[in-house]
Amino acid sequence: MTGAPLHERGVAELAHGLAQREFSSVELTRHLLGRLEAAQPALNAMVSITGESALAAAASADGARAAGRSGPLTGVPLVHKDIFCTEGVRTTCGSRMLDNFVSPYDATVVARLKAAGTVMLGKANMDEFAMGSSNETSFYGPVRNPWNPAMVPGGSSGGSAAAVAARLAPAATATDTGGSIRQPAALTGVTGLKPTYGRVSRYGMIAFASSLDQAGVIARSAEDCALLLAAMAGFDPRDSTSVDQPVPDYAAALATPCAGLRLGIVREFFDQGLDAENERQLRAAFAVYEKLGATLVDVSLPNVGLSVPTYYVVAPAECSSNLARFDGVRFGYRCAKPKDLLDLYQRSRGEGFGAEVKRRIMTGTYVLSAGYYDAYYLKAQRVRQLISADFARAFADVDLLVGPTSPTPAFELGAKTTDPVTMYLNDIYTIGANLAGVPALSIPCGFVNALPVGLQLIGPHFSEAKLLAAAHAFQRETDWHHRAPAERH
């Protein structure tokens, strides 16, 4: 895409252009900041735009490159989901509770990408405390889908996905607890990668459900994701769940051919809940893989149908514990003129949290309470083990699993906000990977009613290189990831 407008280029193309001195990081950053500002009224993709510090970081990156101290990502701009702590910059988690919170330190993901030379353009809007499937629970209002602003972009990383899809930034960090990277990537036509649990540090990432949360990335292509994951991944002694395992050269592994690859089509994912037109696009994508030399095999995950009820016991239980720290005493929102300590707690939490967060805290507290722990939480953890075992058995026979990312294309804003259960079912195909802790990604594979459709690939633990290579092979054969929505600003 040499000669293409700067905003039309992905991470790899921008890195090449910067290395060739076609443009400077300051020029690129100024261009993208202008687009972010112009698009904000229409899309509401951002909570904060950090123009002054971004230009300073870009100038520093240009200086490093001139001095011969540059790496592959030096001077490449991106946005961070507003769940990652950023030193000196507001970190809100999309909540009134943290509307005035300015972090004194950087999350490990932020620090590593900063060390790699990237430039932070700002903080992306998100569902409150990452709880949502449509990016409608944010205190700052809903994010809109760049393909059709009447539609949702998916959640909880909807701001990150919308910014990348609308060509406001080449990439964005994101988090995935039950599908919150892959589902918005699918609904906005971009590439989203959820790594293996423990592959990327959670230090400085505000916790929702600690045994499920995982940091990842949203970008245009698998190649872009590979470059960013290489900078983000690796052991972090400050995160007790971080795995001490070498980080492969993800970019070098992209050249791995699909010939001989065994892809398992998950039988349970092609049920009556899957939109017929979505399925048609997926079947066409499977044919591309067959053309590339892969073998398609039917596989079964018999317990994966229990993923949603299992998740909505485990995740709320963990969130009720994690969010207990937000009490109006130490930091965050504090109610006005409390009568006493109890009033301070009740009104600070009642006024600071939104409806969905309150719903999940109440559910979590209930399932952990005396008399109900065994009936709900313990049983859910046992089912989680069954689901994990299903994945392990499947990966004994196939290299990767393939299927839909979401049941339908993007739906209208407000269409499901009054029915939480219907909303929760949007994550029916993505939750299993979180419960099992395995990596997964979504890539665009077509359109239905002018809205993008996502293909999901799931791999065994620490198989990100294989996942990215399979996605890259598909993207070399197709142009879905190059399609961009019409300019709306």
Q: Tell how strand 214-219 and strand 451-458 pair up.
A: unpaired
Please tell me which residue in 24, 70, 157, 180 is annotated as part of the active site.
180
In this structure, are residues 91 and 102 in contact, taking their beta carbons and an 8 Å threshold? yes
Could you give the CA distance from residue 464 to residue 194 in angstroms, rounded to a whole number? 9
E strand segments, 56-199: 77-81, 119-124, 171-176, 191-194
Please tell me which residue in 156, 157, 221, 307 is annotated as part of the active site.
156
E strand segments, 110-233: 119-124, 171-176, 191-194, 214-219
Could you give the CA distance from residue 111 to residue 127 in angstroms, rounded to a whole number? 23
Instruction: Tell whether the torsion through CA atoms of 474, 477, 481 and 485 is positive or negative.
Output: negative
Dihedrals φ, ψ of 263, to 5°? -110, 125
**Residue 270: burial class (beta carbons within 10 Å; 0-12, 13-18, 19+):** middle
Please tell me which residue in 81, 123, 194, 466 is annotated as part of the active site.
81
Q: What angle do CA 282, 253, 25 make, to 5 degrees?
A: 95
Distances (CA, A) of 64 to 20, 58, 71, 111: 14, 10, 9, 17
Q: Is 160 noted as a catalytic residue in this protein?
A: no
Preceding peptide of 348 cis, ω within 30° = no
Nearest to 95 by CA among 351, 427, 359, 420: 351
Q: Is 180 noted as a catalytic residue in this protein?
A: yes
SS3 341: helix
Q: Tell how strand 191-194 and strand 214-219 pair up.
A: antiparallel
In this structure, are residues 173 and 156 in contact, taking their beta carbons and an 8 Å threshold? no
Could you give the CA distance from residue 478 to residue 455 in angstroms, rounded to a whole number? 13
Residues tagged active-site: 81, 156, 180
